[in-house]
Chain A
Amino acid sequence: MDKKFPISLHFALTLAGLLVALYMIFLYAPEEMTMGEVQRIFYVHVSCAWPALLGFIIIFFSSIVYLWKRAQFADELAHATAEVGFIFCTCVLVTGPLWAKPAWGVWWAWDARLTLTFLLWLLYVAYLMLRSYMVNPGRAANLCAVVGIIGFVDVLIDYMAIRWWRTQHPQPVILGGPESGLDPRMLATLLVTVAVFTLLFFLLVRMRLRLAAMRRELSEIRHVLAFKMSED
């Protein structure tokens, strides 16, 4: 992976993509009719939401691989993804209310998607806190994998349960949804932003993985050094 698609190229692509996305969001995409300029936050909001969910899916699969194959890489991947996914999930929770206040008139409503995102955010928090509160870090991989799997089961249950819960409440109308005549320029902007943010997500995960590898190497060197010193 590092040979075929070096991290420097990945970085350059993401940077260029972000500039293009900025241009499209603020200059290319037309202004929304009823909500005006504030609607432009929509592109960032949706683009953060997708990697936030993708992050937990990756945690789930790498947790299974870790428990099954005991591959340290799978554990490091889960940890890296959790940290990056948490950032993206936080961005969704910050941009959401900023958009909701002018659009719906309230900062927050316990609507299906908001509840889901908030629970996902809590899962990320729980997962990362568990990692950092370990008494014996050697056991962190096993326990976090278990929480990663049960957490994902919970995400799936959220998807169903949210439909059963107080169904009499009206769903907030989000401009009739994307099918009802989203301007082609808006759609193009959305697709580009989502793609760029996905690139950014993977770039951050890769950088985080490289850091984990360096840490592992450093601790190995320390062990060797300590062994040599004790021999002398």
Chain B
Amino acid sequence: MASLQIIWSIFVKDLRVEWRNRETLASMCVFGLLIVFLFNFSFETAREETLRLLPAVLWVAIAFAGVLGFNRSFASERENSCIEGMTLAPVDPSMIFVGKMLANLLFLGIAEVVMVFAATLWFNFSFLPSLGELTLIAFFGTLGYAALGTIFGAIAANTRMREVMLTILQFPIAFWILMLSIDATSNAMRGDPGGNWAGGAARVAGISVVFTVASFLLFEYVLEE
């Protein structure tokens, strides 16, 4: 089977499972909404403060919602012993990684749209003027975050207290993806006075690609029994 076909079937399988029970996506979106709501309600910001706070609020919400989804991604496979079936299949484990990562990327992307929409309403802030820049930053930031989340989700599924374990692995290592994404988002939202959102986006992209490649190469050792 061609690699693309394997990736596609894993990706579609995850989507189908999600379509049937709607657990992961619903919990990610609601959890993300709650975080944005709590921050908005507790700060009651004016515009200048919004510009300072909103990027961090959004990325923190993305980080937490993401961890929720990544946990489900492999925990469900383990609960139903599907992971054995996937490991036995005569395919390259890295392809399984790519398929699952793309599914996670899509779920987190949808949750991000919901969170950004809520932030637009509650913070009374329009993202439209810099929508292109923000989409690019969000894509690369989410890519690296989802790649790490997928491999650490698979690792944490082997442990007791896997929810805690995933967070403990994910946050220190994804730290710079989040921090640099916040920085770049903040620059883009301000209409970019210093003209350095592109540099920031390039750094986020660089780090994300490094982590994605590293996770891709190492994933076969995670599935190995």
Contact = CB atoms under 8 A, between A and B. Distances in A.
Given A129-B168, A130-B165, A135-B159, A143 B211 contact: no
B158 A134 contact: yes
Interface of A is mostly: helix
Contacts of B151: 146, 150
Contacts of A161: 176, 179-180, 203, 207
B195 interface: no
Contacts of A147: 155, 169
Interface stretch (A6-14, A28-36, A74-82, A119-127): A119-127
A149 interface: yes
Interface string B147-173: 010010001001111000100110111
A4 to B, nearest CB: 34
A186 B44 CA distance: 54
A171 interface: no
Contacts of A151: 173
B91 interface: no
Interface stretch (A37-45, A152-160, A172-180, A195-203): A152-160
A178 B212 CA distance: 39
Interface string A46-60: 000000000000000
Contacts of A135: 158-160
Given A123-B173, A150-B215, A153-B214, A142 B221 contact: yes
A158 B159 contact: no
B113 interface: no
A123 B183 contact: no
Given A143-B158, A161-B179, A126 B172 contact: yes
A67 interface: yes
A150 B168 contact: no
A139 interface: yes
Given A67-B221, A119-B175, A145-B221, A150 B211 contact: yes
Nearest to B213: A153
A91 to B, nearest CB: 19
Contacts of B171: 122
For A147, A149, A166, which residue has the most chain B Cβ atoms within 10 angstroms?
Answer: A147
B178 to A, nearest CB: 11
A61 to B, nearest CB: 15
B158 A136 contact: yes
Contacts of B221: 67, 142-143, 145-146
B210 interface: yes
B225 interface: yes
Interface string B203-225: 10001001100110010011011
A227 interface: no
A139 B180 contact: no
Interface string A96-128: 000000000000000000000001001101100
Interface in B96-141: none
Contacts of A136: 158
A209 to B, nearest CB: 23
A32 B225 CA distance: 57
A126 B155 CA distance: 12
Contacts of A142: 221-222, 224
A153 B210 contact: yes
11 contacts: A119-B175, A122-B168, A122-B172, A126-B169, A130-B159, A133-B160, A133-B165, A150-B148, A157-B176, A157-B210, A165-B180
Interface of A: 67, 119, 122-123, 125-126, 129-130, 133-136, 139, 142-143, 145-147, 149-151, 153-154, 157-158, 161, 164-166
**Interface pairs A-B: 9 shortest CB-CB:** A122-B172, A133-B159, A161-B176, A154-B173, A146-B218, A126-B168, A143-B155, A126-B169, A133-B160
Given A122-B171, A150-B211, 20 more contacts: A67-B221, A123-B172, A125-B168, A130-B165, A133-B159, A133-B161, A142-B222, A145-B221, A146-B218, A146-B221, A149-B214, A149-B218, A150-B215, A150-B218, A153-B211, A154-B173, A157-B207, A161-B207, A165-B179, A165-B183
